[in-house]
């Protein structure tokens, strides 16, 4: 299990983590979400002993990470996939880590195979794509066959096959009873990988719940309708007290209702339906609602800036 209790971390006047308490339990993948600047990376650094908290405790299996003599046997971590000597190949890199923790060379070859790196095991890591570097980082995290895994954005750079692979791998490891804490900004992937959810914003806990619960809480109910006369049907639904909007063509979206109610109205008025399907809230929608007041860095809406004008712009265009 992973436990952070009342953790505070400051950098000068900036409070990166502000009284954060969270847990990640064995047997499930726990998603760790938050906007940029929310304190996720700092929290993971505190957990892994890379930064010392100003207050509070961070424990892995009941002990601080810094107290572990052979940490790879208990915790596998990936914070920065590029943190590898660029001239060193995957196998030499993993061998060096293995020797420092009393792990056999046989295990190195096992994780190379598990992560699909056999063919590039001796190639310098500096020439790896981001996806290959992620696979190497995951291999390093798995090296000690640890009961606890902490992974920060492991999906970045992976192709579709790689995304499916890491999803199934993490869910399989959790099913074995391991604790998996996964940080990511890919909501669609988190929705099918994680079961528990920790959401932070501005260094504070926003929610600790399950993916299912947070999505259900955001779900207002809705129905998508396709009908040849979308405008007339939307008007009819509004006359019956429903929130309905024709979106052009054949589509009508109805909020706050169920398919059976819409279907009954259509049948009573002999409206031809081409499609009638429920619309559910997504994890992305639920997450955006939760973190609406916690976004620190927000881009301004509007069009892209116009190209500069004048003599210098002309000179650049001529060049």
CATH assignment at residue 226: 3.30.70.100
Say how many domains are in the chain: 2
Residue 317 lies in a domain: no
Whether residues 154 and 252 share a domain: the answer is: no
> Do 194 and 286 contact (CB within 8 A), yes or no?
no
Instruction: Give the H/E segment covering residue 41.
Output: helix 40-47
Which pLDDT score, from 0 to 100, does residue 14 have? 94
Question: Does residue 307 surpass a pLDDT of 50?
Answer: yes
Residue 95 lies in a domain: yes
CATH assignment at residue 111: 3.40.50.300
Phi first, then psi: give them for residue 76, nearest 5 degrees: -110, 130
Which pLDDT score, from 0 to 100, does residue 306 have? 58
Whether residues 226 and 196 share a domain: the answer is: no
With CA atoms as reference, report the closest residue to 272 among 230, 210, 317, 220: 230
Question: Does residue 291 surpass a pLDDT of 90?
Answer: no
Residue 310 lies in a domain: no
Whether residues 8 and 37 share a domain: the answer is: yes
Q: Which of 165, 194, 217 is the last residue of a domain?
A: 217
Please count the other Cβ atoms lying within 10 Å of the Cβ belonging to residue 36: 11
Whether residues 190 and 236 share a domain: the answer is: no
The residue with greater pLDDT, 297 or 191, is: 191
Q: How far is the C-alpha of 89 from the C-alpha of 95, rounded, in Å? A: 10
Question: Does residue 314 surpass a pLDDT of 50?
Answer: no
Phi first, then psi: give them for residue 88, nearest 5 degrees: -95, 135
Which pLDDT score, from 0 to 100, does residue 303 have? 56
Q: Which of 217, 233, 267 is the last residue of a domain?
A: 217
Phi first, then psi: give them for residue 297, nearest 5 degrees: -115, 110
Tens of pLDDT along 140-160?
999 999 999 999 999 999 999
> For residue 225, what are the domain limits?
220-278
Q: Which residues pair with 166 in a beta bridge?
A: none
- Lowest mean pLDDT, pick from 47-51, 277-281, 308-312: 308-312
Question: Does residue 299 surpass a pLDDT of 60?
Answer: no
Residue 130 lies in a domain: yes
Which pLDDT score, from 0 to 100, does residue 280 have? 84
Phi first, then psi: give them for residue 247, nearest 5 degrees: -110, 25
Residue 96 lies in a domain: yes
Q: Which residues contact 231 (CB under 8 A, 6 or more apart)?
A: 246
Question: Does residue 260 surpass a pLDDT of 90?
Answer: yes
DSSP-based three-state secondary structure for 206: strand
Which pLDDT score, from 0 to 100, does residue 240 have? 94
Length of the chain: 319
Name the pLDDT band for 221 (thresholds 50, 70, 90): confident
Whether residues 205 and 248 share a domain: the answer is: no
Question: Does residue 167 surpass a pLDDT of 80?
Answer: yes
Whether residues 211 and 247 share a domain: the answer is: no
310 φψ region: left (φ > 0), alpha (ψ -120 to 50), beta (else): left
Tell me what the mean pLDDT of segment 158-183 comes to: 96
Whether residues 165 and 111 share a domain: the answer is: yes
Residue 316 lies in a domain: no
Angle, to 10 degrees, between the axis of helix 230-239 and the axis of helix 259-268? 110
Q: How far is the C-alpha of 242 from the C-alpha of 26, rounded, in Å? A: 45
Whether residues 75 and 191 share a domain: the answer is: yes
Tens of pLDDT along 84-141?
999 999 999 999 999 999 999 999 999 999 999 999 999 999 999 999 999 999 999 9
Whether residues 147 and 74 share a domain: the answer is: yes
Which strands sit side by side in the sheet containing 75-78, from one edge to the other? 75-78, 148-152, 179-183, 29-33, 196-201, 204-210
Which pLDDT score, from 0 to 100, does residue 230 have? 95
Q: How far is the C-alpha of 134 from the C-alpha of 156, rounded, in Å? A: 8
Whether residues 208 and 225 share a domain: the answer is: no
Question: Does residue 318 surpass a pLDDT of 80?
Answer: no
Name the pLDDT band for 282 (thresholds 50, 70, 90): confident
Whether residues 125 and 47 share a domain: the answer is: yes
With CA atoms as reference, report the closest residue to 103 among 145, 144, 148: 144
Burial class (CB in 10 A: 0-12, 13-18, 19+), 152: buried
Whether residues 251 and 144 share a domain: the answer is: no
Residue 299 lies in a domain: no
Residue 178 lies in a domain: yes
């Amino acid at each position: 299990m992973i436990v952070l209790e009342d953790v505070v971390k400051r950098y000068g006047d900036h409070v990166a983590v502000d009284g954060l308490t969270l847990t990640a339990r064995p047997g499930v993948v726990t998603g760790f979400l938050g906007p940029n600047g929310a304190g996720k990376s700092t929290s993971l650094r505190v957990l892994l002993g890379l930064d010392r908290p100003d207050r509070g405790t961070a424990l892995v299996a009941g002990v601080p990470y810094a107290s572990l003599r052979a940490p790879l046997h208990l915790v596998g971590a990936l914070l920065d996939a590029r943190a590898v000597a660029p001239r060193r190949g995957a196998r030499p890199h993993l061998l060096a880590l293995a020797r420092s923790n009393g792990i056999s060379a046989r295990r190195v070859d096992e994780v190379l195979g598990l992560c699909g790196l056999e063919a590039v095991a001796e190639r310098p890591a500096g020439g790896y794509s981001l996806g290959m570097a992620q696979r190497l980082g995951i291999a390093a995290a798995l090296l000690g066959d640890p009961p606890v895994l902490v992974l920060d954005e492991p999906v970045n750079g992976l192709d579709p096959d790689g995304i499916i692979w890491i999803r199934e791998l993490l869910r399989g490891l959790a099913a074995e009873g391991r604790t998996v804490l996964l940080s990511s900004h890919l909501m669609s992937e988190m929705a099918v990988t994680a079961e528990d959810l920790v959401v932070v914003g501005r260094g504070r806990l926003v929610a600790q719940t399950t993916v299912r619960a947070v999505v259900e809480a955001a779900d207002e109910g809705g129905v998508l309708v396709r009908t040849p006369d979308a405008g007339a049907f939307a008007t009819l639904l509004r006359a019956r007290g429903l929130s309905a909007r024709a979106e052009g063509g054949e589509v009508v979206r109805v909020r706050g209702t169920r398919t059976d109610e819409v279907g009954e109205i259509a049948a009573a008025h002999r409206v031809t339906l081409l499609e009638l399907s429920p619309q559910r809230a997504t994890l992305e929608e639920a997450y955006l609602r939760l973190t609406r007041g916690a976004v620190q860095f927000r881009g301004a809406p509007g069009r892209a800036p116009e190209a500069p004008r004048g003599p210098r712009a002309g000179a650049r265009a001529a060049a």
